[in-house]
Amino acid sequence: MTKRVISAAALLSLSTAVQAAEPRPAWVDIGPDQASPITAFAGAPDGTLYVAAGNSVYRSADGGLHWDMRSPLPSDVRVLAVDRTQPTTVWALHSTVNWFVSRSTDGGETWIPGGPFIQPVHSLAVSGDAAVLYAGGSVFEVHYGFSTCFVTTFTAAYRSSDQGSSWAVDAVGPVRTAGSYLPCPAVPQSPPIDLLAFDLFDSTLVYGAVPGALMRRSAATGWSAIPVPGCLVTSIAPSPVLPGHALAGLQSGSSTSSCSLLLETTDAGQTFVPVPSPLPPGSDATAKGLAFDPADPNVRYVAVVVYSSPGGPTGQLVFQTSDGGRSWRSLDWDADRPVQQLAVAGDGRILYTVSDRRIFARELRPTRGEPRTLPFRP
Kindly state whether residue 125 falls inside one of the protein's structural domains: no
Contact 177, 152 (CB under 8 A): yes
Q: Kindly report the number of other CB atoms within 10 A of residue 279's CB atom.
A: 23
Contact 138, 191 (CB under 8 A): yes
- pLDDT of 193 reads 95
Kindly state whether residue 158 falls inside one of the protein's structural domains: no
User: How many domains would you assign to the chain?
Assistant: 1
Q: Is the pTM of this model over 0.75?
A: yes
**Residue 258 — very low, low, confident or very high, per pLDDT cuts 50/70/90?**
confident
* pLDDT per position as a tens digit, 197-209: 999 999 999 999 9
- pLDDT of 378 reads 35
| pLDDT mean over 350-361 | 95
- pLDDT of 97 reads 67
Give the burial string for 129-139 (b: 16+ CB within 10 Å, else e): ebebbbbbbbb
Q: What is the rounded CA–CA span in Å between residue 199 and residue 286? A: 23
Kindly state whether residue 288 falls inside one of the protein's structural domains: yes
- pLDDT of 62 reads 93
Whole domain around residue 242: which residue ranges?
Answer: 237-356
Kindly state whether residue 317 falls inside one of the protein's structural domains: yes
- pLDDT of 326 reads 94
Residues facing residue 210 across a β-bridge: 213
Kindly state whether residue 109 falls inside one of the protein's structural domains: no
Give the highest mean pLDDT range of 21-25, 27-31, 173-177.
27-31
**Residue 118 — very low, low, confident or very high, per pLDDT cuts 50/70/90?**
confident
